[in-house]
A and B are shown apart, each in its own frame.
Chain A
């Protein structure tokens, strides 16, 4: 299955990027492409010249995927402005998320692992402008992100990886069902 994995942070050393890169290596039976968002400008209704190229490219990539994973950073109990900006672009002229199965994951430096950002992101994905199908199964929240990865960028804790395997397998089943429709 072709999957676009969106890094929900524009930070240079994003822990969420690490998680997605780990997932793309770990789940090598699926075709996961990690997409960065740091090239996407701040959403503005009056942006000169219409949708900027990085938005068009990302929209196309999502369009051509069977499913999407978003790994979101948490800033002040909500999603980072950089991710929200991408979602606004993709709910404005282009609507690539429409009926696309989306898996939400997150890494944060605190033990909660981004729980509040996940809630907000789910709410945003469910809004009519975005209209994605956010998968509602288990929640994968990776806390203490600063120590969760080893030097190769792999998630250290075996139990955590097992849980991620389970979540991902469920999501793939869900996404297959939705793609078959």
Chain B
């Protein structure tokens, strides 16, 4: 089970951060707790259009959305919740949609004095229970750690055994609550299973048959990852493999294109999809550096045998291995043979726009100007991907 634990302050030093780090350590057998900071978030601004929301806000929302439950550790400022935490919560529920909806949430807190955030915590619960948030707030348990300076030792462990026992009881109960709530939706969530649902059925292709199990495991084995946006512009499927370049989560399945992309990348993504729909292009590619290695992302129009649009697939993989094979002369002897088969590929069309986008890791794939240039170029000659990739530096 995966929890997002939000440090409810932007302060450099925070006892509430220490509490969450302690929980992460102490409960590592029980759950996977990811400690999230809020000090990188801009102040909430209701007038900011969604498209202009920053990457930091998007990443924060994604992390919360993809967690099974959320823990808020809330300091008390002036008998109330700190502004920085209110602001973070405002981002979470406001635009474009409330991602705290029915999220299991737990509230904990540490204060310097004896009151131990008793007043601020009540407010967090009140906020989480408001129609704006409508979270599933844990009730009946309180984790109130007072006298912070004495409550933790220098290793960040809680010294008071009664406080540890209370925390254990509260967290165990929260895990149960989260589990119960997630079971309710398990039927919609078959995606979370590791195995396909029908183990021994076969798909008969014109070229042979595959069991469902084989189909799944082929996708998990090939050294590339595939994501599918269906014809209704929904994120429909991704190939499940370890160490993906793009980390995807089953909670994102069925999201619209708008929902599953950072706002700043959206216009470019839509431009690609629209060009696939109207038939003006079949493929767009962008070489770039991801996680420190050279990676090639290719978008293909997925078409039915009659050519009608079925969706867009994103095909991503590290090309380091291929490049090193090439550099070590692997293809030297077989060049002529390879080219015989190679001349039918649709690789050249979009090579120029790939170049222009190559520098950016997280942002938009291609911009419209580059698209135009790419097409003009494609009409003129058949540049190959190698040429365009070298132009980027």
* A interface residues, Cβ below 8 angstroms from B: 10-13, 41-46, 75-82, 84-85, 87-88, 91, 116, 120, 123-124, 126-127, 129-130
Q: Cβ of B83 and Cβ of A124 under 8 Å apart?
A: no
Q: Cβ of B78 and Cβ of A81 under 8 Å apart?
A: no
- Give chain B nearest CB distance to A52 CB in angstroms: 12
- In the complex, A13→B93 CA distance in Å? 20
Question: In terms of DSSP, what is the predominant structure of the interface of chain A?
Answer: loop
Q: Cβ of B39 and Cβ of A76 under 8 Å apart?
A: no
Query: Which residues on the B side are within 8 Å of A43 (C-beta)?
Result: 10, 77, 82-84
Find B82's partner among A13, A41, A84, A116 (CB 8 Å cutoff). A84
Query: Which residues on the B side are within 8 Å of A11 (C-beta)?
Result: 46-47
* B interface residues, Cβ below 8 angstroms from A: 10-12, 39, 42-47, 77-84, 86-87, 89-90, 93, 119, 123, 126-127, 129-130, 132-133
Q: Cβ of A127 and Cβ of B79 under 8 Å apart?
A: yes
Minimum CB distance partner of A40 in chain B? B43
Query: Which residues on the A side are within 8 Å of B80 (C-beta)?
Result: 78-79, 84, 120, 123-124, 127
Contacts A/B (CB < 8 Å), 8 sampled: A43-B83, A44-B11, A78-B81, A78-B130, A82-B87, A84-B82, A84-B83, A120-B80
Minimum CB distance partner of B10 in chain A? A44
Q: Cβ of B83 and Cβ of A85 under 8 Å apart?
A: yes
Q: Cβ of A116 and Cβ of B126 under 8 Å apart?
A: yes
Query: Which residues on the B side are within 8 Å of A46 (C-beta)?
Result: 10-12
- In the complex, A82→B93 CA distance in Å? 16
- In the complex, A91→B80 CA distance in Å? 12
Q: Cβ of A42 and Cβ of B78 under 8 Å apart?
A: no
List 13 additional A-B contacts (Cβ < 8 Å) besides A12-B47, A79-B86, A81-B84.
A10-B45, A11-B47, A42-B43, A44-B11, A46-B11, A77-B132, A81-B83, A84-B80, A88-B82, A91-B77, A120-B80, A123-B79, A123-B80
Q: Cβ of B47 and Cβ of A88 under 8 Å apart?
A: no
Minimum CB distance partner of B91 in chain A? A81
- Give chain A nearest CB distance to B107 CB in angstroms: 14
Q: Cβ of A77 and Cβ of B47 under 8 Å apart?
A: no
Q: Which 9 A-B pairs have the closest CB atoms?
A: A81-B87, A85-B83, A81-B86, A84-B83, A127-B79, A77-B130, A76-B132, A127-B78, A42-B43
Q: Cβ of A88 and Cβ of B133 under 8 Å apart?
A: no
- In the complex, A12→B10 CA distance in Å? 25
Query: Which residues on the B side are within 8 Å of A85 (C-beta)?
Result: 43, 83-84, 87
Q: Which of A78, A79, A81, A126 has the most CB of B within 10 A?
A: A81
